[in-house]
Amino acid sequence: MNDPKAQADALIKRGHTLLEQGDLPQATDLLNQAVKLYWAAGEQYAAAAQIGNYGWALRRRGRPDLARPYLEEAASLFTQLGLTDFAERHRFAAEDAHTGLTDDLLTSLPPAVRGALERGDVEGLQFALDALPLAERELILERLMTAGVVSTARSNDDVTEALRQFEPLLQGIAAVATGDESERGDIETALVELERKGWQLRQAVSQIWQGERNLDMLSQHLDELDQALVKKMLELIEPHRAG
């Protein structure tokens, strides 16, 4: 394999697997090797995107402290490339990477969730979260994950769980794509908030709403979970296309 970009892509794929297995040192080493190859191939955007993706992945695993330098580096590279929107999103995520259970975070939580955290009541916390409406529960859980308060360790059932949790949102995205604009504003707001928490769906959804249906095109630079969600969106849209 003499193509530097292809070599880099392969290293990124291996690194992603290692990251999911918790081998951060080796995953980081492969990322660094891949970035050098991207630069050698003149693929500056790919280098910036993969550095950013690594930061998002660390953030999603509840390690905003480790994610911050990667998000900042990606923001700097995107700025150099003139991609100010991408740069701003990564910079904001880096600055928004809170650590620990702060007073401000506690105050902002629903009373039952706050009480369980203050008591150190794990079962009570789960009960309080389960009692919340789905959308609110997901946002609260994402905030706790970002703060490192709860674990985001991945399991073999993560894709299934993500599809289950995001089903209402995916249905709404598909509805907009097939002509029902009634929830578009709410969906766009939700996508912005989710992007702050590490889910990279907004660009793919925008492309889907513009008519793109090629999964490979939509999935570029997305991780496994984001790809699974995009694939599900297309599956929900497909019956309408056939009709």
- pTM of this structure: 0.50
153 within domain boundaries? no
Q: Are 94 and 52 in contact (CB under 8 A)?
A: no
Q: Is the domain of 86 the same as that of 37?
A: yes
CA pair distance 203, 221, nearest whole angstrom: 11
**Residues with Cβ within 8 Å of residue 190, at least 6 apart in sequence:** 135, 169
35 within domain boundaries? yes
CA pair distance 2, 83, nearest whole angstrom: 29
Q: Provide the residue range defining the domain that includes 125.
A: 103-146
Q: What are 110-138's pLDDT values in tens digits?
A: 999 999 888 878 788 888 988 887 667 77
DSSP category for residue 100: S
The span from the first CA to the last CA of the chain, in angstroms, equals: 44
Q: What are 186-240's pLDDT values in tens digits?
A: 899 888 877 766 678 999 999 999 999 999 899 877 777 788 899 999 999 988 7
Q: Are 200 and 54 in contact (CB under 8 A)?
A: no
74 within domain boundaries? yes
39 within domain boundaries? yes
Per-residue pLDDT band at 65 (split at 50, 70, 90): confident
Say what the pLDDT of residue 240 is: 72
CATH code for position 50: 1.25.40.10
- Provide the 10 A C-beta neighbour count for residue 217: 10
Q: Is the domain of 73 the same as that of 23?
A: yes
152 within domain boundaries? no
CA pair distance 139, 235, nearest whole angstrom: 25
